[in-house]
Structure 1
Amino acid sequence: MQQSTEDRPESDQEDAAPLLNQQLSLGKGLCSARYSLVLILHFSLFMMYSLRVNLSIAIIAMTNGTNPGSLTNSSTDVCPNRSHAQPNGSHRAFTQGAPVYDWRAETQGVILSALFYGYLFTQLLGGYWSGQFGGKLVLGYGLLSTSALMLLVPLAAGLGAVYLIGLQALLGMAEGVIFPAQYMLLAKWAPPLERSRLIQLAVAGCTFGTFVTFPAAGIICQYVGWPYVFYIFGGIGCVWCGFWFLLVYEDPACHPHISAGEKEYIVSSLANQGISHGRSLPLLAMIKSLPLWAIAVPCFCSEWLFYTLLTSMPTYMHEVLHFDIRENGLLAALPYIGNWLCAIVSGVLADFLLSKQVFSIATVRKLFSVLGMMLPAISLVAVSYVGCDYTAAVVFLTLSMTVISMCGAGFYTKHMDIAPRYAGFVLGVTNTLGTVSGIIAPTAVGFLTSQDLLTGWRNVFCVSAALNLFGRLFYVTFGRGTIQDWAREDTALQ
């Protein structure tokens, strides 16, 4: 028997109140305006991640296959070579004619990490600008700038590594505004009962872009030449931005073709969140807000695990498990298709639980956060103890990267739950911390694995797992599902 509203705790009443008054009856189909927007966002984030990761593949051809790292220790604590593993240089030779640069491993590392320093710089600005000027313009110009700058990568590389590092930082700055702007845009379009699935459908474009770009960029490098990786992806990005500005509208009221029923449904379901913020931000109240910290802390912890796998899983497969280049590329791409599918399924499932009033918003977010952080942590600990069991190691690594996407239906959606008016800025705050972990984690991997590889990687996985479990505990303790007082519309400023 369902519990009555009067019998529920006060916090759950406030949490469930806006849901009990909504009906999913109008404009629900995949052809609705809001789902069309999410599909466009999906491909926009697909392009963003394609532009972000293509250098990771192209730099192999740019440096004539120079390994970004090599074993500097004499440890024998590694797995034995498998009988079918091929020598490192056995892969197909890259096309002739493209320039090749003599960059040391350290230089390559700086080039690849430079994007994140720029990316770190504009997270808060992107959130603030999207609140003032709208998510459509900020995201559109951010993606257009990223695409245009990508066309200059071959020129910058030819001028020297310093120029390419500077260009990478600029690319990061252009990309940094995209995620906060996306959240600000969805805050105006996503009804609470559909928020999980809409966000997850949009963000799934990131991992799908990674999955496609890894093999596509390798093929382009082999058959056409590495400069065309940047010309092709940059050109497609510029063309796509034209469709973005033509097809995207800031909110339902601006859309000329949305049905009256869908517009009324969206507007009425979001009526209690207030309008977008202007120049004023309640910074002191944000700093004191435990529910906001309850998003930021697990974001840092989960991004540590994610970036550890993103940047170091191919290295682990090569140096410890001895997969050759062809095997490594395929196996490194597989977890991203699992991540993509799990993101979509978890978003639909979370909204189903909310629509059936099985759990409150706070409970649903905590459930998916716990699963999305605990299961990857367990999987990584398992990897650290399976040793040289190649099949088990790959299965657990894939499971870890796949299940972590469930966090998208958990605390990553909380920005709109606790502060819809400031969703872009709050996302900028938490994403900044996540980017910091993305900068620190690869350095920590290098430090921990500098001696015995198996022992070092065991420490890498255990540290990532421990951080994930701490983030889960922090969120479950302090996470809330209601709009915070500092995020409510201040009529005094009208």
Structure 2
Amino acid sequence: AIRILQGMFQGVVFPCLHELWTHWAPRSERTHLVLTALDGIQMGTVNALCLGELLVEFVSWESVFYIFGIFGCIWCFFWGRTIKDRPEEDQSISQAEKEFILQSLDDVEGQSKHPWRAILTSSAVFACAVVNFCQIWGSNTILTKLPSFLKENFNYEVAPSAFISTLPYLATTIALKIAGSQADRLTGLCTTTQVRRNFTCASFIAQVILMLAGALVLNAIQTSILMSLAVAMRALGWAGYIVNLLDLSPRSAGVMMGLVGSVGTIADITSPLVTGLLTPNNTVEEWNGLFLITAGIFLVGCFVFWFLDSGELKPWSIEKREQDKNSESSSINDFSTNL
């Protein structure tokens, strides 16, 4: 029951972050800022793996929950004191910075309702949901089954080596720093659609190549490095489809992230189950079949995103804004007439 509640509370984090970036991230720095926030997740995982192992070994297993729980409470305190919904409410930034942010943002004020029908029937939103499912499926397959794969094929134990366990997350951290800045730089040279498509599809193709290469080599260390690099390449995809929701409709980015994340949760649940069914005996043939299926899922996501995605502001986002403004004007006129 506690784990269910934990998952429910964690589920709102990414939609809330997208809602926050709607008011804070200028278009010219959008990808860099979003990926910087995601970078914190990777470093948090690295610290948790290293510190958690030390706490279990030298203190007790209960101390892991107490220590990280205390850290969470401290973070909540500073988050509540520091973070503001909008730049206008933040007294800690300069007037020049505030004006720069406000002038660089898309118009996101005044929407009373989200255009649900348009969102649910949008090919671009569908494409983002599909690639998120594919990405989570692939990442989970590599991250959760890599230790078993190394043990069964190379008789190599990952658990004693904290460095090997954290390698995928450290590699992702480096990739995030590069992908964010480069995507924003290229946005000034190419269309937003081209940038989002190229980064997402390059990410998926790179993951397929590195994952299959890691499955074919006959050395545990080389396999670990190649698989870690495959996981790191998801950073390129995040610079594409995750940020893409802010391009489509800044006003509805939060709810769209919630929908896309919900689809990804299906992969979270089903990927370990299917992986277990496909590798009952942990033979080389079973593992190769699993990696080939995962590669196929990546390629399907790549194909769908390339042909269905768009990086431009959607007409239904603009239309909804105009409808809201017209509705407000009509209400004011009716009120004036009654007076």
Q: TM-score, normalized by length of structure 2?
A: 0.91
Aligned residue number for residue 282 of structure 1: 115
Preserved contact between residue 215 and residue 329 of structure 1 (Cα < 8 Å): yes
Aligned residue number for residue 146 of structure 2: 313
Among candidates 32, 37, 50, match of residue 197 of structure 1 = 32
Aligned residue number for residue 179 of structure 2: 346
Among candidates 70, 91, 97, match of residue 256 of structure 1 = 91
Unaligned runs of 5+ in 1: 1-165
Aligned residue number for residue 336 of structure 2: none
Aligned residue number for residue 16 of structure 2: 181
Unaligned runs of 5+ in 2: 329-339
1:249 CA displacement: 0.7
Among candidates 421, 429, 433, match of residue 259 of structure 2 = 429
Among candidates 107, 110, 120, match of residue 273 of structure 1 = 107
Taking only aligned residues, the RMSD between alpha carbons, in angstroms, comes to 1.5
Give 1 or 2: higher helix fraction: 2
**In 1, Cα distance between the equivalents of 2:282 and 2:64?**
37
Equivalent residues in 2 for 1:87-106 (5 A)? Answer: none
Paired residues, what number? 324
* % identical equivalent positions: 28
Does residue 304 (structure 1) correspond to residue 137 (structure 2)? The answer is yes
SS at match of 1:415: helix
Equivalent residues in 2 for 1:364-443 (5 A)? Answer: 364-386=195-217, 388-443=218-273
Structure 1 residues 276 and 406 mapped into 2: Cα distance closer, same or farther (>3 Å)? farther
1:328 CA displacement: 4.6
Structure 1 residues 482 and 273 mapped into 2: Cα distance closer, same or farther (>3 Å)? farther
Preserved contact between residue 380 and residue 462 of structure 1 (Cα < 8 Å): no
Q: TM-score, normalized by length of structure 1?
A: 0.63
1:423 CA displacement: 0.8
Preserved contact between residue 137 and residue 271 of structure 2 (Cα < 8 Å): yes
1:390 CA displacement: 2.1
Preserved contact between residue 22 and residue 108 of structure 2 (Cα < 8 Å): no
Aligned residue number for residue 226 of structure 1: 61
SS at match of 1:273: coil
Preserved contact between residue 150 and residue 158 of structure 2 (Cα < 8 Å): no
Preserved contact between residue 45 and residue 169 of structure 2 (Cα < 8 Å): yes
1:408-430 superposed Cα distances (whole Å, 9 cap, x missing partner): 11111101000100111000011
Letter in 2 for 1:335: P
Aligned residue number for residue 215 of structure 1: 50
User: Deviation above 6 Å: which 4+ runs of structure 1?
Assistant: none
1:207 CA displacement: 1.1
1:373 CA displacement: 0.9
SS at match of 1:358: coil
1:119-154 superposed Cα distances (whole Å, 9 cap, x missing partner): xxxxxxxxxxxxxxxxxxxxxxxxxxxxxxxxxxxx
Higher relative contact order (CA 8 A, sep 6+): 2
**In 1, Cα distance between the equivalents of 2:192 and 2:158?**
45
1:310 CA displacement: 2.6
